[in-house]
Copies of this chain bind each other. A is one copy, B any other.
Amino acid sequence: MPADDAKRRLLITAGPTYEPIDAVRFIGNRSSGRLGSSLADHAADADWCVTLLLGPNAILPSDPRVKVVRFHSCRDLEAALDEQLPIHDTLVMAAAVADYRPATEEINLQGKRRRTAGDLSIHLESTPDLLAGCSQQARGNQLLVGFALEPRERLMESARRKLKKKNIDLIVANALETMDSDTIEATLLGNPDRGLETELRTPGEITKADFADWLLGQLGPLTDRRKAVMTESTTNG
């Protein structure tokens, strides 16, 4: 067995999506991709095999062992996930994917909308829920991890709802208020429906680098356990 097959294989998404309005304009968001990029660096350092799907203007990881694939829109990211998910053990979805994008009939990629007098509206459509889609495609031995970034007051309620709705294994709940901060205070919640009762809080506010190590410390054994279950059932089957 080649050495890389024994390694844990981690797929991370990070950064914003830019949803085109025309050849020049887009709807974007302020995600810097810092957290996901730092996570990729730390995972490579901890000997995971890492692929990072990285949005526009997001910060590049510094570790050359991280394989970086760029995306721009939700549609690009969806295609990249389709391709990459099957060859990884664990997915951490740290990208800030747009909930809405300009509806197809609004988009003019060849040109640039003319300024007209007065007001106008852009018609938006919901984007597909990429993580829920991954959950439908995933093998039972893959571990799927999401993020919930919401105002503190409705954070935990919102995180638990997302966990069920997307049918994923774990969610990192962190408060919208800390978005541009260098530190993070988060809770890792497991999905009881998928056999995970995890409820772990970071030791107070920690740096994003320390958070990366903390999260990988949790994901490592869980990834191994899932892989082991599969190997066992394959052996038994």
The answer on a CB contact under 8 Å between B121 and A151 is no
* Interface members, chain A 20-69 (any B CB < 8 Å): 21, 23-31, 57
Q: In the complex, A100→B149 CA distance in Å? A: 28
Contacts of A79 in B (CB 8 A): none
- Give Cα A179 to B109, complex, Å: 13
* In contact, A21 and B26 (Cβ under 8 angstroms): no
Q: Is A196 an interface residue (CB 8 A)?
A: no
Q: What is the CB-to-nearest-CB distance from A172 to chain B, in angstroms, rounded to a whole number?
A: 16
| Set B18, B98, B120: member contacting A124, Cβ < 8 A | B120
**A150 CB contact (under 8 Å) in B112, B119, B120:** B112
B28→A18 contact, CB < 8 A: yes
Given A125-B119, A150-B112: A27 touches B30 (CB 8 Å cut-off): no
Is the beta-carbon distance between B176 and A111 smaller than 8 angstroms? yes
Interface size bracket, A side:
35 or more
Instruction: Determine whether the beta carbon of A176 is less than 8 Å from that of B27.
Output: no
Question: Interface SS of chain A: helix, strand, loop or mixed?
Answer: loop
B119 and A122 within 8 A (CB) = no
By the criterion CB–CB under 8 Å, are A119 and B111 in contact? no
Task: Assess the B23–A26 pair: CB atoms within 8 A.
Answer: no
Chosen A-B contacts, 27 in total, with CB atoms closer than 8 Å, are A18-B28, A23-B176, A24-B29, A24-B149, A24-B176, A25-B30, A26-B28, A26-B29, A27-B27, A27-B28, A28-B28, A57-B57, A99-B115, A100-B115, A100-B120, A110-B151, A111-B176, A112-B149, A112-B176, A115-B126, A117-B126, A119-B124, A119-B125, A119-B126, A120-B124, A122-B122, A122-B124
Known: A112-B149, A121-B123. 18 other contacts (CB 8 A): A24-B30, A24-B96, A24-B176, A24-B179, A25-B27, A25-B30, A26-B27, A26-B30, A57-B57, A110-B151, A112-B151, A117-B126, A118-B126, A119-B124, A119-B125, A120-B124, A121-B122, A121-B124
- The chain A residues found within 8 Å of chain B, CB to CB, are 18, 21, 23-31, 57, 96, 98-100, 103, 110-113, 115, 117-126, 149-151, 176, 179
